[in-house]
Amino acid sequence: MGKKFRTLAVIPARQGSKSLKNKNIKLLNGKPLLCYSIEYSLKSNLIDKTVVSTDSEHYANISKQCGADVPFLRPEDISGDDVQDYPVIKHALDFFDSKGEFYDLVVLLRPTSPLRPSGLIEKAYEIFEKNPDTSSVRSVTKIKEHPFRAWEMTNDRTIVGFEKGIYEPYNLPRQVLPELYFQTGDIEVISRETLINGSVSGTKIRPIVINYSEMIDIDEASDFLAAEKYVIQN
């Protein structure tokens, strides 16, 4: 049986970074950060095309050297600090639509999660195969700090419980707290229909649960040092 879905991997890598200079091409164990995600995508026989969406010729050249396609440079209006994922992914999908290349699924692989667990693309693909109503799949991990224990600072410098719908939620026993997860940066897979309808998630979002200890998301210098340590130890 052949592949059911044509699948596009998009690796977003704009130039610059406020928290860590040139984060997406910073060398991790001698390799540019974004190359880890490129290689991860290229290893999967479920990916039909691996594309880096960048606004930088320099980043584009590095991406090509690592094996990715860079058929366009991202327009300036979707390259700023505050630009969300949707316009970046939709721009890539529209670009290939205009070339007569149509994809059923788009896999988002962030360069800032370079050491993701193996098999995530395959797990997501299988979820879509078994659940045709799936609008998207994303990686999540169980939270360590429960939001029921969170406090909000008020204007008069007092604090109130952040969760307002339950009486004194911060006093609830740990055993009765709802099991909650937060999304990791490892993988998101979105159906074509969901993107066309203007969303990166849709209404039927299914999870791939990742162990907290396996999650590495690089945002600051300390995260990068942790990733370097992990590479050395493994």
User: Which of these ranges, 49-53, 67-71, 142-146, has the smallest mean pLDDT?
Assistant: 142-146
Burial of 40 (0-12, 13-18, 19+ CB in 10 A): buried
Domain boundaries, the chain: 7-139+183-223+226-230, 147-176
Tokens of 1: 């049986």
Could you tell me which of 230, 22, 4, 219 has the C-alpha nearest to residue 117?
Answer: 230
Give this prediction's pTM: 0.92
Chain center to CA of 12: 9
Q: For tokens 């190359």, name the residue.
A: 35
Q: How far apart are CA 166 and CA 146, in angstroms?
A: 14
**Buried b vs exposed e over 64-89: b needs ≥16 C-beta within 10 Å?**
eebebebeeebeeebbeeeeeeebbb
Residue 164 has pLDDT above 90, yes or no: no
Q: How far apart are the first and last CA of the chain?
A: 36
Q: What is the tens place of the pLDDT at every residue in 93-140? A: 999 999 999 999 999 999 999 999 999 999 999 999 999 999 999 999
Q: What is the pLDDT of residue 1?
A: 43
User: Which of these ranges, 8-22, 134-148, 177-191, 193-207, has the smallest mean pLDDT?
Assistant: 8-22
Residue 18 has pLDDT above 90, yes or no: no
Interval 11-22 mean pLDDT = 86
> In 122-223, which ranges are E strands?
136-142, 151-153, 159-161, 181-191, 205-209
Q: What is the pLDDT of residue 121?
A: 98
Average pLDDT, the chain: 94
Q: How many CA atoms lie within 13 A of 53 on its CB side?
A: 27
pLDDT band at 230 (very low <50, low <70, confident <90, very high): confident
Interval 207-215 mean pLDDT = 92
Q: What is the tens place of the pLDDT at every residue in 168-178? A: 999 999 899 99
Interval 40-47 mean pLDDT = 98
pLDDT band at 2 (very low <50, low <70, confident <90, very high): low
DSSP H helical segments within the chain, as ranges? 33-42, 57-65, 85-98, 120-130, 192-196, 221-233
Q: What is the pLDDT of residue 40?
A: 98
pLDDT band at 11 (very low <50, low <70, confident <90, very high): very high
Q: What is the tens place of the pLDDT at every residue in 58-93? A: 999 999 999 999 999 999 999 988 889 999 999 999
Tokens of 156: 């008069």
CATH number of 7-139+183-223+226-230: 3.90.550.10
Residue 206 has pLDDT above 70, yes or no: yes
Q: What is the pLDDT of residue 19?
A: 75
Q: For tokens 């584009």, name the residue.
A: 60
